[in-house]
Amino acid sequence: MIGVDVGGTFTDVVEIRDGRVSVTKVPSSQTDPAQAVVEGARRLGVEGVPVFNHASTMGLNAVITRQLPKVAFLTTDGHRDMLDRGRVWRPPDRQTDPSWRRPFGDASKPLVPRYLRRGVPERIAADGSVLMALDETEARRQLAVFGRCNVEGVAICLLNAYVNHAHEERLRELVHEVLGDVPVSISSETSPLAKEYARASTTVIDVVMKLIFDAYSHRIDDELRALGFRGELNFADCAATLLPWREALRKPSRIVFAGPAAGTIASTRLGEAIGDRNLICADVGGTSTDVSLVVDGRPFLNNTFELEHDLVINALSTEVVSVGAGGGSIVGISPSGDVTVGPGSVGSEPGPACYGRGGTLPAVTDACLLMGILAPEGFAAGQVRLDPALARRAFEGLDTPLPVDRRIAFAFRIAVANIAEEIANIAIRHGVDPRDFSLMSYGAAGGMLLPATLDLLHVRRVVIPPHPGLFSALGLLSTDRVYYDSRSAYVLLTPQSAPQIAAVYELMEQRLRARAGVGRDAEDVTLRRSFDGRLVGHSWETPFIEIPSGPITGDTVQELVERFHDVYERRYGNRFPYVPVQGVTYRVELVVRSEKVQYAAGKPERTAQVRPEGMLDLRHYADEPLQAAEYRRESLPVGARVEGPAIIREALSTTFVCPGQVAEVGTVGEISIEAATRAAGGSDRWP
Amino acid sequence: MHTFPRPAEQYLFARRRPVQGTCPECGAAALAEYRVLSDGGLWDVRKCQRCLASVERTRAPRYGSYVPLGLEP
Amino acid sequence: MALTSPVPAPLIRDLSDEQFARRYGCDRFSATVLANRYGYIVEHMCGRLLTAAFSPILRDFYDFAATVSGPPELDYATPAMSATILLFTGTMTDSVRNTVEEYGVENVEPGDVIIANDPYRMGTHVNDVLFVRPVFHEGRLAGFVNLKAHQLDMGGTVPGGFSAAKSSVFENGLVLSPRPLLKAGRPVRETWTLIYANVRFGELLYPDMQTICVNLDLGERLLCETLERYGAGAVHGAMEYACDRSAEHMERALDRIPDGAWEGEDVLDCDGVDDSEEYRVRVRVTKVGRRAEVDFSGTSRQARTCVNATALDAKTSVGVAFKYLLDPRTPFTSGTARPIDLILPEQTVVSALPPEGGVFVYWELNQVVLSAVLRALAQAVGPGAMGGDRGSADLHNATGLLPDGTPWVSAAQCGGEVGPYGANRHGDADSQMLSYQANGIGMAIEAIESGAPVVVMRHEIEPDTGGPGTHRGGCGVVRDSVWLQPARHFFMSFRYKHAPGFGVQGGGDGAGGGIWIWDAEPDGFPGRTPLTPEAYRRAAPVGGVLDPDTNVPSRDGAYVYVLERPFWETRPMAVLRFLTNGGGGWGDPLEREPERVKLDVRDGYVTIEGAARDYGVVVSGDPDEDPENLVVHAEATRRLRAEQRRTRSRTAPTA
């Protein structure tokens, strides 16, 4: 099995063959991203490999940088500004900021400029009836304009097309008639869900992704075949589930944001192996920390996600919240003299001052280097040498009367405190108590920052998985193939509505089986139904209420209403049994089980006491330097116990075990860190 | 007071009462007394009209002239 | 009471460690961490309310606020307010102080929740109920955690309360003077029953109030943990530090603008009795060094119906205006207002007293105050000035019965709720926003149509309505809706008389908007209603400043009184049109790069005629048929702009 995670800076490739993990890192190429994937495949060899699973942030990057193909948007006359409007709201913390603009609005950087967003006279009512017929003459005229402007693809989203797709389908025919064989996405196919803005933006992204991914994926497939690959090429989606690449190209909006979710899946899988079903997953990178939750062995799923503020995509996705704190977060001084960390970041270029690439602003990584947590040699598998003198100079350059020692100490502590508060915030918003959870800590900077949050967050423990620097790529080898479909219909849930709901499922399930090429009784296949419903009077839905398999009858619908109230109460703490429930979106997932990474349990060695490689001065943590033991991770056997303060180094990551903490190597090689005396509770461990 | 009839004048004006004395900050003989709303609620202030320094700030009744009936003994 | 000096000197950043510790009872690092922590505590308190409340107005419009505040000896200093609704920012600290002091500090016990909602005591309106939880540490009152949240109904003559026609406190809804809702953790039954005996939808309010109490429990727990960990000395010191810090931010920002005095005014068109009296808010802003005063002398007396606001609302909008222009990025605390004194005669339309008129539609006056202060400060901040937004929140509500007798309601969906901002030095303005002091999720048209018998035929910007400028104001937005069943319409638009979308730095004002109804004998689905003068001529005008012959918005037209009728009844297939006012422009439109004007023509924000008239740019081509081949005629543009500059210097007085 091979997993490839294409990031902005590096393309990570992981192979598992006969239980052995091999890894390689290839620099990503902005101009020819397929090349890095193929190079990684060549290095590890693909002959005899059964699956090649691919995730990329290429689509996301194209959207964020607006390096987009020229696409047009066709909608109901009078509504072309739905893409400028979004859902109207602005970020709560920017409310008095006159410089804020809606990032995709016409006053900023629209995905489709207004002159390429055009209306066609037609109107379908909320119940699907046709109020105004499609004006084909006018449609042809507008398409001719698109032709004159040489658009490369067309997105179509008409009002209420989620209940009646006739006009959209006819328009697609007209596009091909007038413009020839250009990619077209229609909303009733891409995402037949209610609420026009999210459906429209998903459809626009979909046609953009068709243009971006088409040649790329054909090229990867061709070149892998040329290297002798005979297995399946799969693409991962926003929930880190897989689908065959040709299937992915049918609705590529689903794969626009693959990558972060893979870390959550990897955590889930590791959690299974070590018997831990409640996890807060934190991927600490250079510019940000991606936080997600695994509750009772399942990642927290969403039915939509945002590529940037309010740029909404309808797709099943693992909820990953990105907070602006990471190794590259900039250390600064506020006007009132506070040491601040973030939200700005030095990025990968020039990077922290200690990289020696011209950066002069101090970052959290610089603080960690000066503290002794990071060593000058051996960073990022030896690819970067860190220069403490440059790091120190950057801290000296801060405009504050504080002594340099304390600037460094404060920077580290505030970075840790910010990450802890952000993680707590996410936990509380999801109604979970961090005390019941383990903090899965990965990404290059996870191990050096997150153990220090233990005392602030009150999580059970911090877990550093094996290969924390490549953990997301490992997630691509920890997941299933999933085909899914969903559609909306506002239906009041009463026994009388059973036939309508049953018909929706019958149609969806039939089509899904055909797409996946599986029969009714296929093994290794599970069908999951769920719906999103709302209390009458609400404008938002409660998602993922499970529906039993089997025929849908009046009794089933009554059960659905009960389940809705149960889920609502579990999530939000209140129950409104006297308010009627409306079904909005109905969903089927067809899961085809796939081969996954197996974590082999090792036996603890008798000699739990291990000898450090050496001792070092841990500076700026306490008033006086502390002596900290230094270990190589690969020389720590299962069952090894290490008391803090200690530093554990490995090729792509460093773990800092704080004073008062104990780290222990678990059965599959994970490092588990807990407070030495859990009873101490509430004492302030900062000196 | 608890009940306020609508004012007869269409536009209303605040009164600032000039008082003797000089501003300790800028030295101007331009002090006046009036009521302001700021951090801390309503204040009766004596302020310099040239540099806006407060010479004295005394807490004013919580709701100004409005005294909910039943609140006073 | 102690003298509070508006200028703490030296600056906080220059304090030595010893001075800092003496003033704030902790070291600088702890103060920073604690100040951040208060921000997170209020966010944590909002988290559950945002997801768990029944009320859509909480979740979609963030119509609530959470704060942490200090004990009485800190004068209830508020080091953190949630980033929810700006309209609450100036009222929170005083609400908590007034509620606790009136109830009696000596009566407060652990586990209490004290509530109140009287606008004359605490600003905003009766639907906004304040919930205060005292927090004790080692047996002493150590602070409060607080939530103020809009309730779906508070009784009164109009369901939900949204009406501008109520004429006194007694029609407005239940007034709660400060009283316990929980006493030592136990429900005070007579308070709960008093509320539910007076309000509609009690079954929905009840769990919402319980959720609020649970959130207060969470806030209390977090503040208690903080107290245990750091001690009351550090916690209180850091509260003062956070407030001093934001006062200092504002002072330093004030210091950066020149000293002077500037006047600004704006108006609310009318109240609910008739349009004989418009309500003016006039301010004179004086700024010397790091201090400012805002004097409201010359402001109108209070209105005869519930369009009034109270002094704390005026404080909110003065604070919001100063934040927007001077200190946009830091969060609000009670210290924000410290360098600014408001001088506010009693019984103006923004300092109303009971019982006449009453207070409900307070947010419209918040907008007028904001506008008046922004206009005054525009003269002080030069290029930092902001153009006005479209003014009113333009709320529309409609109700009716389906043929089977089921009632339906469309609340704040089909009016002018979404409209433009004004431009500023950062660029052109967005056209589709709520007002400068509101924020929220706009409802999807498909969701609206699934819930009420209405078809939204058009929601589009209208060309040439944005205030022209080097940076263009947002364009007015047209929303046309067809009502399939008989309907009753309620309007709350109050800002047509005096272009609220004012231009700055030489930018032009946004165009005026209006409201129209086409209610002909039903003859099938009416389809599209054109935007032509012929179409307007056939309409019944509902609001705006309109040409009496054509019904088209015109600066020289006549004012059409929006509340002429308390509501409008329409027949099936009637068409309702809202056109919002445009947003103000920033900078001289003759300085806008001709290429950008061409792109505006291409994109339909400006017409070819508008480009020549408003920007002096001569564009030719067909933006509809051939949008990529428009041509700017450089020489003709140069001549036209020179000509317009000459005309302007001859005729226009310097602004």
Given a cut of 90, whether residue A382 has pLDDT beyond it is: no
Q: Please name the residues in contact with C408: beta carbons below 8 A apart, sequence gap of 6 or more.
A: C399, C400, C401, C402, C451, C452, C453, C485
Q: Which residues of B touch C5 (CB under 8 A)?
A: 54
Angle at C331 between CA C325 and CA C333, to 5 degrees: 105
> Do residues C422 and C467 lie in contact, with contact meaning Cβ atoms separated by under 8 Å?
yes
CB–CB of C353 and B4 under 8 A?
A: yes
pLDDT, one tens digit per residue, over A487-519 is: 999 999 999 999 999 999 999 999 998 888 887
Dihedral pair phi/psi, residue C637, rounded to 5°: -65, -45
Q: Does C328 sit behind a cis peptide bond, omega within 30 degrees of 0 on the bond before it?
A: no
Alpha-carbon torsion angle A641, A645, A648, A652, nearest 10: 140
Given a cut of 60, whether residue C421 has pLDDT beyond it is: yes
Given a cut of 80, whether residue A380 has pLDDT beyond it is: no
DSSP state letter for A142: H
Q: And the tokens for C293?
A: 């005063």
CB–CB of C94 and B34 under 8 A?
A: no
CB–CB of C293 and B52 under 8 A?
A: yes
pTM of the model: 0.92
Given a cut of 80, whether residue C408 has pLDDT beyond it is: yes
pLDDT, one tens digit per residue, over C24-71 is: 999 888 898 899 889 989 988 987 787 778 888 888 888 999 999 999
Q: Please name the residues in contact with A593: beta carbons below 8 A apart, sequence gap of 6 or more.
A: A480, A481, A524, A525, A526
Task: Give the gap in angstroms from C-alpha C355 to the nearest C-alpha of chain A.
Answer: 33
C-beta neighbour count of A177 within 10 angstroms: 11
Q: And the tokens for A204?
A: 């626009």
Alpha-carbon torsion angle A76, A80, A83, A85, nearest 10: -110
DSSP state letter for C581: P
- pLDDT bucket at A22, cuts 50 / 70 / 90: confident
DSSP secondary structure, C582-598, as one string? PPPPBS-GGGS-HHHHH
Q: Which of residues 28-87 of C touch A (CB under 8 A)?
A: 28-29, 31-33, 35-37, 40, 43-44, 47-48, 50-52, 54, 56, 59-60, 62, 83-84, 86
pLDDT, one tens digit per residue, over C511-565 is: 999 999 999 877 899 999 999 999 999 999 999 999 999 999 999 999 999 999 9
> Do residues A67 and A17 lie in contact, with contact meaning Cβ atoms separated by under 8 Å?
no
Mean predicted lDDT score pLDDT of chain C: 94
CB–CB of A410 and C434 under 8 A?
A: no
Q: And the tokens for C512?
A: 């005026």
Task: Give the gap in angstroms from C-alpha C559 to the nearest C-alpha of chain A.
Answer: 28
DSSP secondary structure, C459-527, as one string? EEE-TT-SPPSSBPPPPPEEEEEEESS-EEEEEE----SS-SS--BTTPPPPPP-EEEEE-PSP-S---
Given a cut of 50, whether residue C8 has pLDDT beyond it is: no
Given a cut of 80, whether residue A240 has pLDDT beyond it is: yes
- pLDDT bucket at C329, cuts 50 / 70 / 90: confident
CA distance A458 to A433: 9
Tokens 């099995």 — which residue?
A1
CB–CB of C47 and A196 under 8 A?
A: no
CB–CB of A148 and C628 under 8 A?
A: yes
pLDDT, one tens digit per residue, over B14-70 is: 999 999 999 999 999 999 999 999 999 999 999 999 999 999 999 999 999 999 999
Residue count of chain A, please give it: 687
Does A579 lie at the interface with C, CB-CB under 8 angstroms?
yes
A609-626 core/surface letters (b: 16 or more CB in 10 A; e: else)? ebebeeebebbbbeeeeb
* Stretch (H or E) spanning C385: none
CB–CB of B5 and C101 under 8 A?
A: no
A171-180, A395-404, C477-486, range with the lowest pLDDT: A395-404
CB–CB of B6 and C301 under 8 A?
A: yes
Given a cut of 60, whether residue C1 has pLDDT beyond it is: no
CA distance A449 to C234: 26
% of chain C surpassing 70 pLDDT: 98
pLDDT, one tens digit per residue, over C365-374 is: 999 999 999 9
Residue count of chain C, please give it: 655
**Chains near C (3 or more Cβ pairs under 8 Å):** A, B
Write down the pLDDT at residue B73: 62
- pLDDT bucket at A609, cuts 50 / 70 / 90: low
Task: Give the gap in angstroms from C-alpha C113 to the nearest C-alpha of chain B.
Answer: 20
CB–CB of C300 and B12 under 8 A?
A: yes
Over residues C446-473, the mean pLDDT reads 96
Of B6, B59, B62, the CB nearest to C98: B62
**A and B touching (3 or more beta-carbon pairs closer than 8 Å):** no
% of chain A surpassing 70 pLDDT: 98
- pLDDT bucket at C652, cuts 50 / 70 / 90: low
Of C1, C97, C301, the CB nearest to B10: C301
pLDDT, one tens digit per residue, over A37-57 is: 999 999 999 999 999 999 988
> Do residues A253 and A307 lie in contact, with contact meaning Cβ atoms separated by under 8 Å?
no
CA distance A666 to A568: 38
Q: Which residues of B touch C304 (CB under 8 A)?
A: 6
Q: Which of residues 378-397 of C touch A (CB under 8 A)?
A: 386
Domain boundaries, chain B: 17-59
CB–CB of B56 and C338 under 8 A?
A: no
Over residues A245-260, the mean pLDDT reads 90
Mean predicted lDDT score pLDDT of chain A: 91
> Do residues C407 and C449 lie in contact, with contact meaning Cβ atoms separated by under 8 Å?
no
Task: Give the gap in angstroms from C-alpha C640 to the nearest C-alpha of chain B.
Answer: 45
Q: Which residues of C touch B59 (CB under 8 A)?
A: 1
Select from A90, A336, A433, A540 the residue whose CB has the most chain C CBs within 10 Å, as the one to mutate to test that interface: A336
pLDDT, one tens digit per residue, over A264-312 is: 999 999 999 999 999 999 999 887 899 999 998 989 888 898 988 999 9
C-beta neighbour count of C7 within 10 angstroms: 16
pLDDT, one tens digit per residue, over A78-91 is: 999 999 999 999 99
Given a cut of 90, whether residue A537 has pLDDT beyond it is: no
Does C323 lie at the interface with A, CB-CB under 8 angstroms?
yes
Q: Are strands A153-157 and A71-76 parallel, antiparallel or unpaired?
A: parallel
Over residues A330-350, the mean pLDDT reads 86
Distance (Å) of CA B28 to CA A288, A636, B36, B57, C4: 55, 78, 21, 18, 20
Q: Is the ipTM of this complex over 0.95?
A: yes
Q: Which residues of B touch C346 (CB under 8 A)?
A: 4, 12, 64-65
Of B12, B16, B39, the CB nearest to C338: B39
